[in-house]
Amino acid sequence: MNYDFFRTLAESNQWGLIMPEIFIGGLALVVLLADLLLSPSQKRFIPRIAIGGLAFLLFLIALLASQGALRHATGFSGLILQTMEIHWLRAFFILSALIVCHLGSVFLSRRGHLPRGEFYHIVLVVTGALMLLVQSNHFVLLFVALETVTLGFYILVAYSNDRLPSLEAGLKYLILGALSSAILLFGIVLLYGIAGNPLLAGNTADSMNFTALGLFIAENPGHPLVLVGASMVLAGLAFKIGAVPFQIWVPDVYQGAPTPVTAFLTTASKAAGFAVLLILVTGPFRPLAGFLIPALSLIAILTILVGNTAALSQKNVKRMMGLSGVAHAGYLLVGVIAAFTVSWAVYAVLFYLFVYYLASSAAFGVINHLSTDDDSDQTIADYADLARHQPFLSAVLVVSLGSLAGIPPLAGFLAKVFLFVAAFQAGLFLLLAVSVLGVVISIYYYFGWIREAFFVQSRSASVEFVPKAANLPALSWNQKVTLGLLTALTIILGFYVGGIGSLMG
Amino acid sequence: MPTFSTILLPLSIAIPLGIGLFVVFTQKLPNRVARVLTQIAVGLPLLIALSLALNFTPDPETGYAFFSRTNTGLETLGITLALGLNGISLPLFVMAALVGASAGIFAVHRKTERHRLFLGLLLIMHSGLLGLFASVDVFFFYFFHELALIPTFIMIGIWGSSARRLAAMEMTIYLTLGALLSLLGLIALYWQSGAQTFDLIALREHLASQPLRESFQGVIFPLLLFGFGILVSLFPLHSWAPRGYAAAPTATAMLHAGVLKKFGLYGLLQISVPLIPAGAAQWAPTLAVLALCNILIIGFITMAQRDLKQMLGFSSVMHMGYIFLGIVSFNLIGHGGAVILMFAHGLSVALLFLLADCVRERTRTYDMQEMGGLAQHTPILAAFFIAAMFASIGLPGFANFWGEFTIFLGLWEYSPILVALAAIGIIISAIYGLRAVAAIFYGSETDALTKKIKNREEPITDLVPVERIAAGLLFVALLWIGIYPKPISDPANEALMLVAPPKVESIAHIEPLP
């Protein structure tokens, strides 16, 4: 039929740019088909298909990267923009999906009544959307990708559909997520409208494109509608990263969601929010630095303080992880604010996200293994005497929580040092002081957890108290390998960062 | 060029770390093997440290010997693993090796529950201690400190005495705050200097040519002073120390009170004061007053203690005051005295903690009012304890004497009144020290003690050979430096001259205290 269409397509062949996303989309369909066609006894192959496919894709990307085939590129009439950092983020989301699929296979094998195939399908679709999201250079793609992600999460959060906490979490996430999407959309529309106003200098017909929008904002940095629009866009993103005052949903949703999904929210969803935030503040919103730096600073301070103080009194481990994640979002915001003036702060934020991924994935791996029938009511007391009964799990827990708390020689310390140095260079002294205060507070709850796992022996000896750790199922080999790898990386990165260090400073 | 002697220094850090990790993570290792490995892992660094001390010939320009540098991927940030020893760090490195060896031998002898894990953690801590004094890079200086600190918390939390959980938590929070404050100070120094390096030698050269603005110095110095100060239990930020030591298992208390606590003082002496002289001068009067509070207020509190271990904890806090005063004096003599006293105090307080544990092993209590007349059962323990207490008080013949004496000498130039007030501390030390000796070893046995002795099947024994070796190691070093301090004072002198030659200008505008 349309010969010319295919010819231009073949010549310009931009689809190559998003081959990984297409591959993941295909993989998601394969998983769905497998769920349909395989007999119940063969369904245990579904997670292997998903994990194997993702690992293969990761291998391909690594191969391409080693050949130098991953480059700076734009495509689809400026809809997507790829830089080295974006490629790195795409690989990061694949890594994160790998962990979630692994956690999901452990989780679902204990809850036979839940459907299997959909879980991996949705995780894969969300992963593909996340990868598209960070490449977006246009509000349309950004919104579509973001909504795909959020829609997937609505289902995933409520996946344990026979558990009230999970359903409650799903409803809360749905309502607040819809609200934040609406705010984001309103902000986009405002920016679109004002940038298309022919009366203003720098007006553009393509005002959803970040590049064009950036040029317009540079001309009109003080226009009230620009400020309102940008604030609303950032507010929509603040929901994703759980920054104050949009952190209200975090504890309930983190607690109620199935543990693998909580891990997915912690690692991938938060990283996506920060990636988009970085794209915006280093791109179109950079001219607004005079307005955004104080505004974001205030949010960062509140986020660090609220997250840490709220986490202090938590006994439920998933709530604590959620609220401490809010605090981590605060530290990361400090890095984002530094990125306005210090260009390498972007790498500090990305490194922090990666280290945070390693540590929190390992922690959720432990939580996932300890969870019983209802995984929303796990408290710190369940960890009593873990060290005696499960030395490996407790070592993983110590390393990951130590890294989250930022204790040397673990990677989390180095990540915080990079952020602090960047903040110092940007002159954010107040934020630094608050961050340090936050870190000190966080020691209390992270170490309280470790303490429970290690130091509570006398209690079990004196009273008739059987610690939960005594009756845990044995770890399977793939759990051991995964947790071991995450832990080893956390330790190694603390001592030796290789080429990553050359990006800093 | 890596020569044999430059490899020895990294090796002395790597051996305890490697063996420590091996012991912690090998799950089915027999306890017997772990004990032999521990003795090797504390023995070899001691031999290396002693041989390095004998072959110590510093580079005349930098003042460092056995220098080596490894890139860990952070070179663009100016961070490399640079190791070396100068005249200030050498005595402390040797002291760390000595105390580590003594604590290691003692920990092997004194069996605990989950003994392997304890020994492994002790070794990791030991490697951090050796590393922090051997670091020429400020970042790794901090890094090794934390490496030593983490096992401390775990050891107190698991093997500590009653109230250990609270003590471990209090210590963790206090020390993390201190460490983060000093980290901020170090990062500030790194950025404001413009030298773009954490390398101490390069920083020093850079700042010698273009010193920081005085207003900056006045901001950075307190960060370092109070950051390090918390770690050294500077008044009024000391409350973690006595409680922590009272709860800590003995080997941990030896290493922490003896060695790790010197981190902050060493940092002040090696980094803060030479690099930020004007800031140091601005804050000197404040530091002098706080140090005096350490000596006098804590001194009086020490006198009121009944619990032997609490008393030792408070007395170690009190003696930090002298070292702070040595730093405040801002002259070569005072700083040299601080180095010697750091060395001597590390050995003597470790020795006292060790002997206190030996006392407890025999009397089953730390409460001094329940003891008495122990000397007739254990004459050698009594002799060691009395000698160690004399050393701690600062009697001539022990290394502590030279430290306190030279500090007072140096301080006299700065403010005679301070010397007069600080000297009261010696009387206080003598009172509580001699009172403790009297209460434990002389007088008549209390009924409680007699009953305890009767209830046990075997009679009270004197120090066994292993305990004698562990204690003797520390005691011989104290006595040797007490009689012949030259091996420490000479290199320290040279290094201090090199670190801050034009001292006079930097203190010219200090308002001396009356």
Nearest C-alpha of chain B: how many angstroms from A305?
16
pLDDT band at B509 (very low <50, low <70, confident <90, very high): very low
Least confident of B34-38, B292-296, B486-490: B486-490
Residues 6+ apart with CB under 8 A from A483: A362, A365, A366, A392, A393, A396, A475
Q: A447 and B72: CB-CB below 8 Å?
A: no
Average pLDDT score over residue span A482-500:
84
- The first and second tokens of residue A433, run together, are 């002081």
- The first and second tokens of residue B387, run together, are 């000698």
Tell me whether B154 touches chain A (CB under 8 Å): yes
Q: Select from A407, A421, A504 the Cβ nearest to the Cβ of B150.
A: A407
Q: What are the distances in angstroms from CA B25 to CA A396, B118, B121, B440?
A: 12, 12, 11, 41
Residue of B nearest to A413 (CA): B143
Tell me whether B172 touches chain A (CB under 8 Å): yes
pLDDT of residue B241: 86
pLDDT of residue A319: 92
A444-469, pLDDT tens digit by residue? 889 888 888 876 655 545 555 667 77
pLDDT band at A230 (very low <50, low <70, confident <90, very high): very high
A325-372, pLDDT tens digit by residue? 999 999 999 999 999 988 889 999 999 999 999 999 999 999 998 887
Q: A420 and B190: CB-CB below 8 Å?
A: no
**Taking a C-beta distance cutoff of 8 angstroms, is the pair B347, B95 a contact?**
yes
Q: B191 and A499: CB-CB below 8 Å?
A: no
Nearest C-alpha of chain B: how many angstroms from A349?
16
Tell me whether B300 touches chain A (CB under 8 Å): no
Q: B187 and A417: CB-CB below 8 Å?
A: yes
Residues 6+ apart with CB under 8 A from B240: B167, B170, B171, B174, B175, B233
Alpha-carbon gap, residue A169 to A253, rounded angstroms: 4
A413-423, pLDDT tens digit by residue? 889 988 988 89
B432-448: burial string, b at 16+ Cβ within 10 Å, e else: bbeebbebbbeeebbeb
Q: Select from B73, B176, B184 the Cβ nearest to the Cβ of A501.
A: B73
Most B CBs within 10 Å: which of A493, A496, A500, A503, as the mutation test of the B interface?
A: A496
pTM above 0.90, yes or no: no
Mean pLDDT of chain B: 84
DSSP three-state, residue A203? coil
| Chain B residues touching residue A383 (CB < 8 angstroms) | none
| Chain B residues touching residue A421 (CB < 8 angstroms) | 77, 187, 190-191
Other beta carbons less than 10 A from residue A500's beta carbon: 17
Other beta carbons less than 10 A from residue A482's beta carbon: 21
Q: What is the ipTM of this complex?
A: 0.74
Alpha-carbon gap, residue B506 to B179, rounded angstroms: 27
pLDDT of residue A131: 94
**Taking a C-beta distance cutoff of 8 angstroms, is the pair B395, B404 a contact?**
no
pLDDT of residue A126: 95
B140-163, pLDDT tens digit by residue? 888 888 888 888 888 888 888 777
Most A CBs within 10 Å: which of B25, B116, B141, B154, as the mutation test of the A interface?
A: B154
Q: What are the distances in angstroms from CA A269 to CA A92, A149, A187, B375?
A: 11, 8, 21, 69
Alpha-carbon gap, residue B150 to B162, rounded angstroms: 20
What percent of chain B has pLDDT above 90? 12
Alpha-carbon gap, residue A152 to A221, rounded angstroms: 36
Q: What are the distances in angstroms from CA B336 to CA A19, A439, B85, B307?
A: 68, 37, 16, 34
| Chain A residues touching residue B196 (CB < 8 angstroms) | 505
Asked if the model's pLDDT at residue A207 lies above 70, the reply is yes
Alpha-carbon gap, residue B93 to A365, rounded angstroms: 41
B461-501, pLDDT tens digit by residue? 788 888 888 888 889 988 888 888 888 888 888 888 777 64
Alpha-carbon gap, residue A149 to A147, rounded angstroms: 5
Nearest C-alpha of chain B: how many angstroms from A85?
19
Tell me whether B254 touches chain A (CB under 8 Å): no
Longest dimension (CA), chain B: 72
Asked if the model's pLDDT at residue B2 lies above 60, the reply is no
Q: Select from B142, B154, B176 the Cβ nearest to the Cβ of A443.
A: B176
Average pLDDT score over residue span B320-339:
87
Mean pLDDT of chain A: 88
**Taking a C-beta distance cutoff of 8 angstroms, is the pair B466, B383 a contact?**
no
How do strand A80-82 and strand A73-75 relate by DSSP bridges? antiparallel
pLDDT of residue A461: 52
Nearest C-alpha of chain B: how many angstroms from A89?
21
| Chain B residues touching residue A502 (CB < 8 angstroms) | 73, 75-76
Average pLDDT score over residue span B422-440:
89
| Chain A residues touching residue B184 (CB < 8 angstroms) | 420, 432, 436
Residues from A contacting B (CB-CB < 8 Å) are 391, 395, 402, 407-409, 413, 417, 420-421, 424-425, 432, 436, 439-440, 443-444, 447-448, 451, 454-455, 457, 495-505
Sequence letter at residue B341? L
The secondary element (H helix, E strand) that includes residue A371 is none
**Taking a C-beta distance cutoff of 8 angstroms, is the pair B327, B334 a contact?**
yes
Q: A436 and B180: CB-CB below 8 Å?
A: yes
B185-231, pLDDT tens digit by residue? 888 888 777 777 888 888 888 887 777 777 778 888 888 888 888 88
Residues 6+ apart with CB under 8 A from B174: B230, B237, B239, B240
B163-183, pLDDT tens digit by residue? 777 888 888 888 888 888 888
B57 or B296, greater pLDDT: B296
